Amino acid sequence: MRAITFTVAAVLATGASAYSGQTTRRKALIQSTGALFGITAASAPIPAYAKPAYPEEESDKKKIVAGYKRLEYLLANWEKETTVCGRYDNPYIGDGKGCERTPERVMEYLGYKSTNDPLFRVDKTLKRLERTTDDPEFLDLLEKFLEQADESNVMAFTSSWGEANPGGGKDRVEYFIERSKKNVIEARDDLKAVVRILDLQVD
């Protein structure tokens, strides 16, 4: 009877030892596999909310997108947006039908007329956004955009005095407005590149 009891105990001990060995090997396999794919609990990254680089970041990004879309609209409707009708009754002013070309809207779209325009003081907006990217192209685009916007504003302002200046006339107004358009195109393209670098969504 003692021999049977001893035999049963030995079998149970052997089984427990085998089970323990299998469990240990299985655990080691799971741990090594997890380490291989970087999925262990200790190493798994914890998702974190990306905080803005500065308080106005989201607002500034929205201004850039809105300003870019407005420049797109201006260029797509250039003739319409740079023509005003019904301002004068004098047939000798404008095209004789009460309409005349005017650069005022160009200056408005570029942010030079109203504090409510998204591109108003865009230089400060872009300089703040510079800290959100390490792309070396950004600073160059910032300078190019400001240069084109300023030049377009100068051409638009010059156009507004096209008929009043000595030797001026409607053709001079047209000339400077179209010169201004070339600068707006360049400014729009520079702002488009900024939108790309900052990975902004344009609807």
**Across the 203 residues of the chain, what is the mean pLDDT of every consecutive 10-residue run?**
44 46 47 45 47 87 97 96 75 62 88 94 96 94 95 82 58 82 96 97 90
Q: Helix 122-129 crosses helix 137-160 at what angle (to 10 degrees)?
A: 170
With contact defined as beta carbons under 8 Å apart, do 139 and 130 qualify?
yes
pLDDT of residue 72: 98
Give CA–CA dist 141/193, Å, rounded: 8
With contact defined as beta carbons under 8 Å apart, do 159 and 173 qualify?
yes
Give CA–CA dist 96/101, Å, rounded: 12
pLDDT of residue 157: 77
Give CA–CA dist 99/153, Å, rounded: 22
Give CA–CA dist 161/101, Å, rounded: 12
How long, in residues, is the chain? 203
Q: Find the radius of gyration of the CA atoms of the chain.
A: 35
Give CA–CA dist 86/143, Å, rounded: 39
pLDDT of residue 41: 41
The residue type found at 143 is E
Residue 100 token pair: 């005349």
Q: Is 173 exposed, middle or buried (0-12, 13-18, 19+ CB in 10 A)?
A: buried
